[in-house]
Each structure stands twice: as C-alpha cells, then as structure tokens.
Chain A
Amino acid sequence: MEIIFFLLPASLVLALIAGGAYIWSIKSGQMDDLETPAMRILFDDEEVPREDNRKQP
C-alpha cells in the first residue's frame, strides 16, 4: 500500500494542471459570455478564404 505515497502526489499534480487550465481559461476571458458561443455553433456559413485573410469573429 506504500504506493500511495507516490500516487497521491502524482494525482495532485494532475489536479494542479487542471486547475491551472481553468485559471487560464477565466483570465483569457473565455468564461465571460457563456450563451453566445453556444449559439455560434448553429451558424452554417462556409468559411470562404478572403484575400485579406479576415476571419469571422
């Protein structure tokens, strides 16, 4: 059962990585608006490459 002395810290490292990703997503503003991105998946425009390379928001 001594393996737990290794497994515990290992899983904590994983938890920390997940936490870090969460913090990054909040700070980069991904959580500011939770409704509108859900609607954007319904748009079915074809992405036509433009000469000036402007992308759809």
Chain B
Amino acid sequence: MDDEVFRERFVRGENGLSRISFYLSGMHCAACVWIVEKLPEIVSGVESASVNFALSRVEVLFDPEKVKISKIASVLDSIGYSPAPYSDASADEAATKSERTLLLRMGVAAVCASNIMILSVALYQGHFTGIEERFAGLQRWVSFLLAIPVVLYSAVPFYRAALGGLRAGRLHIDLPISIGIAAGFAASLFNTLRGGSEVYFDSVASLVFLLLVGRWFQQRGVRRAVAQSRRASSILPTRAWVKRGEEVCEVYASSLQTQDLVVVPTGERVPADGTLVQSPALLDLSILSGESRPVSIPVGGKVFAGTKNVGATIYAAVEHVEGESRIGKILKLVEDGAGNRAAVTALTDRIGGYFVAAVLVLAAFTFTFWLRVGFTEALNNTLALLVITCPCALGLSAPIALSVSLSRAAKKGILISGADVVERLAGADAVYLDKTGTVTSGGAKVVKSWFFPIKTLISEGDLARGILALELTVEHPIAVALRERFGGYGAELEPQNVFSRIEHIPGRGVRGHTGNGELWEICSWRTAVASIAPNEIQTQASESCLAEHLTPVALSINGELAAVFGVGDQLREGVRDLVAALQGSGREVFLLSGDANPIVSYAAEQIGIKAENSFGECSPEEKVNVITQSPHRKAAMVGDGVNDAAALSAAYVGIGVRGGAETCLKVSDVFVAVDRFRRLEETFFGADRTMKIIKANLTLSLIYNLLGGGAAMLGYVNPLFAAVLMPISSLTVVLSSTLGRSY
C-alpha cells in the first residue's frame, strides 16, 4: 500500500498533506462514526478522518511524512472496520456535482413556486369576490417574474430529456411536461400582457418543483445503492508476493511485471497468469470453469489469475498481468458487451409515449372545438388541459417507488443496479440457477459419515484426532473436508505426535503408523476394498454415497474398515423453499451447471426442479446458448459473478451471488450476498410488489387525468381548480409510493 503505484491511483495531495478515501465495511451506527473519526487521536500523523455514513466512506487527511497509508489501513482494520481503497474519485465528484445541481434547481423552484402560490391566493380570491385590475395585474407580473427562473433554469432537465427523446425518435415522458410548462408559461405571459385573464404560473412552478423532488429522491437512492455495491472486494487480489533473489516482498498486484516470480501460499489467489515452476499445484479453478473439484497442474503448466491455491505454496513466473490475464479479458468482453445490451424501455417511457400522443390529440381537438366560441376560450381551455393532465404519476410515482425499493433492497443486502431492473425482475417468467457455488455451497464437505465397530479399541476422541492428524499432512480438498469435520478435536495437533510414520500414497490416500503398531489408512473406497473385503453394511454405505453423488472415502485401522465418509458439495439451506416459492409465483425454474449430468440431475431432483429443466456439462458458452434459446424470452439468471459472466449478461435480468459485488455488478443487474441467500426470494417478490404499487398509482393517475382533463375540455377548469387538484394528486402519488409495501 505504500508504494508509488498505489499512491498515484488513490491518494490526492494538497499543502503537504495527503488525502485518501477508503470504503469501510461494518459501519452500522453513530458509534462507528464516532470511533472512526477518532483516528487522529489513535494514529499520529493523521490530521482528520471524516466519515460519510450513507456511502460507508471515510476520508483521511494525513501527513505522509509522519505516517504510512498501510498503518492507517491496519489501524482501521484493527478497530473492526476493514478498509478497501476507493479509487473512483472522479466518478464520485461528478455524482456530487450533479446532485448539487439538482438541489439548486429544486431550491430555486421551491422558493419561486411558494411565493407565486402566495400571490395566487389573491387572484383566486379575486375570481370569486372581484379584484381591482391594477392589483391583479401586479400579482400577475410578479408571478411572471418569479416564474422565469423556474421555467428557464429549474425545468431544464425536462427539456433536455424531451428533446433527446425526439432526436432518438421517441416520445419521452418529459415531452408533455415540457410542452405543458412552455405553453403554460407562454400563454400566461400573453394573458398577463393582455390583462384581465387567467394565468397558470403557480401550477407550472409547483409542477416543476414536485417533479424535481421526485428526481432527487431517485438520484439519491440509486447513488446509495451503487456505493454499497462497490464496497466489497473484487475477485482479483490487489496484493501479491514476489520473490526477488532470496527475499519475498509484498507488492501491489498491478505492479507485477512479466518474468516476476510470484509466490502463492495456500488459500491465496493467483495474482496473474503465469507458468508454474518448482512444484506442482492444486488449484480451485471454479471461478473460471465452475468446477468445484480442484485440478492439479504439473510444473511447466499454466496457472490463471483469480484461481485459488488449495495445495501447498506454489511459485509461478508471471506471463500476463491484470488486464491481459484471461480473467481480465473475460471481464473486459463482458463490460464492452454490457453497453450493447438492448435498451430495455422502462414502463413509464412506454406508457409515456401513448400518454403524450393522447394528450396532444385531445388538445388539438379542444382547441378547434372551442374556437367556435372564441379564441381566448379556446386558448385557455387548451392550456388548462395541457397543464392539468399531469403525467405526475408517471413522472413521480414510478421513480419514487423504484428508488424507495432500491434503497430498501440495498438495506437488506440486495444490491440492484438500476430502477429498470426492478421492472425486469418482476417481469421475469423463468429463473435459471447455476449449480456450483450458487445452489451448492461450493466447497467440499463431509456430507455423510458411517462408523463401524472394529477389533481395535479406540475412543471417539482418539479416532477424530487420528483422522485429523493424518489429514493435516495432506493438501487435498477431501483432506480439507475431513479436517473441517474433525477440526474441533485439536487445532494445535502435531501429526508426528500421533503417528510415528506417515506415508502419502499419491492419488490414493495417506497412511499412518502409530507408536504402538497401529496402521491407519485413509483412502478412496475403491483403494480400500482392493485389500479389505467389505461386509454388507459397509457396501451399502458406499453405494449410498454414490447414489447421492458423493465421493466415498474409507478409513481403515489395522486392516478393518472403521469408517466411510461421503464427501461432496452441499446444497445450500433454503434452496428447496426458494425453488418452490419461485414456481409458486408462476416462474419456471431451471438448473445449469458445468458438472457431470448425473450429479446435476440429482441436484435438480433434490431441490424440486423438473428433470427436463436441468442442464449439465455446460461450458460458459453453452450456458449462454441455453438462455438465449430458451422458450422464455424473459429469463433471469442467478450465478457466480465471474465464471457465469457471459450468461448473466445475456439474460433478461442477471443476478450475481458470488465473486464480489463489484465484479458481479459489472455483468449482472443485481448482486445478492451469498450469506443472505434467502434474500433471493425477496429479490423477486419485492420487485413484484413494487410493480403493483406503481400500477395502482397509474390507475389513480388515470382517473385523475380523466376527471381533470374532462373538466378542462368542458371549460370548467380555472387556475384555482388546476392549482389545487395537481398538488393533491402528486402528493397522493408520492405518499403512496413511499409508504407502499415493496421490499
């Protein structure tokens, strides 16, 4: 963290002090903010630490002469908030700037609209009891002056969107709004000049204000959700160990050069593509291939960035770094593809088009009809129609309901990348689940065990210790599973204290001789029965393993079978319920996997997926084919962020559950943290409920528009009527969207 490359990317400097921002995980409350802001007292050299709770960020101002960045990070980690460097400073500045601009426009609209409203009271009163023309004129002129900043500054985003839509050949929802604002303003000005007539400055100004409020809510909600998503660590390690000469030093992964010799200890991920030297490797390639069973790579073979070392420490000569690595290329392909994704038209845009067309037709009709009576009446009534037919519900309800959903979902650990995703989640009629790591827990586990009586007397504790001792010496996923199962019996066990001699039989198992002449052997079932004849119970145990697609592992002591363990990938808790719930909501569920067919169909059966809906032995490309060729046009895909990248991107809506939020959200639309797996149901059903709210609001709005528009066309609308009806309808919509039950 202290080297040049890191600094260039993350640190900003000013007046001899430097600034760095971190994402912090684990911020829950005010006490967290308090303790992190105490950093200057804990670490000398730190001038200040300023927390932004909503975005989970802290900005630290420090003297680089007095303290190192790594020290700051390790202190933050030690007090319980693990930091991740935050590099998107420029995007964030842009977001802040646009939020500020929106607030400015909103504020200007608020000040002006409220003052215009106050003035309008006089005009309304005058409508009923009479008002002297000079005073009415004053009100109108001042209202006009106040309306100028609203129409020329605050409402600009609507004009831009409307014009942009026209240029793209679409009728954007902001088009009737823009027409209403412009026409309302122009005609009111005309009437102000003429005197003695109707003005609509108050309706126009308050419309602009309320719509901007809706946009502000929306922007904030999305920004919050996205900030949370960037917090998690990504799949590629940011640091690596390099052996230079005799020393091993820790460096920033992006500073690796080709021919560097990287050291990858057990449990760490390979930082770059390279060639294996010195000793063979056992790697978990699941992020690239989806296979949870580790693969052994001989010396001279290729290793890939992002894969996990589950064997002993390995050394590799770097060939391709970061962006050039296989994973880097995959991610880049997907990133580029994401931009080309067919634009999914939001619900409001679609309906908006029809709405605009209908309003314009009706306006033309109203004008021509009233022309028979007089030009003024025609103008006034047409304007009344344009102003009162508020696409507020479309302009407000959908954005507010959606952004409220986004932030509520984010609080529950469901990170949705955009408002239109919610609509797609609700519309998805099929769900494709990836097996490895999604439906299963992705790690080898001892799923079943059988213990048999043997002549040698051994206590339960000694049995466990013996197994643990033998397996501590083996680097193999089955050993990992067994160690986990019996690990509780002595973490500091020294194998040589239990066994005087341990032999490894490559590819088969491990053998241990104890001091008092016992011979223990743990190996695969087939190896064990080659020399020991199993009895019926023992054979049944092994068959049961195979039937459940578990690897049978046998423990024999002094030539007798003492135990059989079934090792396999366990299904996650709650998967069956998830599938049932999804099917209950009318969605068809499928299973996709790279694993062998029998294992996949077995898993499908276990969780309630129809046999014809399970697809095994699929490469990443084949998964994409299954989805794009599916009879269901609106298929959702749930999978691992990295190795299912292409499939997630190809699906109508993609949900990533592993691989880090950042990576997932590059290719998918939603990220659900795997420890909150049950949230997957919520993901879909919350979206369903949100769409229900929006639809209800649209109905309300339709009724309002029919009544209001009808009244306008019939000539009953005066400015008071419009000014009262519109805010009420908008407010109703806002309340219903905020308080409705979504996520």
Chain A interface (Cβ < 8 Å from any Cβ of B): 1, 4-5, 8, 11-12, 15, 18-19, 22-23, 26-27, 31-36, 39-40, 42-43, 54, 56-57
Contacts and interface: CB of A to CB of B under 8 A. Distances in A.
A39 B107 contact: no
B30 A12 contact: no
B104 A26 contact: yes
B192 to A, nearest CB: 15
Interface of B is mostly: helix
B135 interface: yes
Given A39-B53, A40-B37, A42-B34, 20 more contacts: A8-B142, A18-B111, A19-B107, A19-B108, A22-B111, A26-B104, A26-B107, A27-B100, A32-B52, A32-B96, A32-B99, A33-B54, A34-B54, A39-B29, A39-B30, A39-B34, A40-B30, A40-B33, A54-B40, A57-B49
B212 to A, nearest CB: 13
B111 A57 contact: no
A19 B55 CA distance: 28
A37 B34 CA distance: 11
A22 B107 contact: yes
Nearest to B101: A26
Interface of B: 29-30, 33-34, 37, 40, 47-55, 96, 99-100, 103-104, 107-108, 111, 115, 119, 132, 135, 138, 142, 146
A6 to B, nearest CB: 11
A36 B51 contact: yes
A22 B111 CA distance: 10
A29 B99 CA distance: 11
Contacts of A11: 115
Contacts, number: 66
A36 B135 contact: no
B349 to A, nearest CB: 30
Contacts of A57: 37, 40, 48-50
B115 A4 contact: no
A36 to B, nearest CB: 4
A8 B103 contact: no
A15 B33 contact: no
30 contacts: A1-B135, A4-B135, A5-B138, A8-B142, A12-B142, A12-B146, A19-B107, A19-B108, A19-B111, A22-B111, A23-B104, A26-B104, A27-B100, A32-B96, A33-B54, A33-B55, A39-B30, A39-B34, A40-B30, A40-B33, A40-B34, A40-B37, A42-B30, A43-B34, A54-B40, A54-B47, A56-B37, A57-B48, A57-B49, A57-B50
A12 B37 CA distance: 42
Nearest to B114: A15
B52 A33 contact: yes
A10 B76 CA distance: 54
Given A39-B53, A42-B30, A8 B100 contact: no
B222 to A, nearest CB: 16
Contacts of A31: 100, 103
A35 B53 contact: yes
A11 B96 CA distance: 33
* Pairs A-B, 9 closest by C-beta atoms: A39-B30, A36-B53, A57-B48, A19-B111, A22-B107, A42-B30, A35-B54, A35-B53, A33-B52
A15 to B, nearest CB: 5
A32 to B, nearest CB: 6
Contacts of B50: 57
Nearest to A57: B48
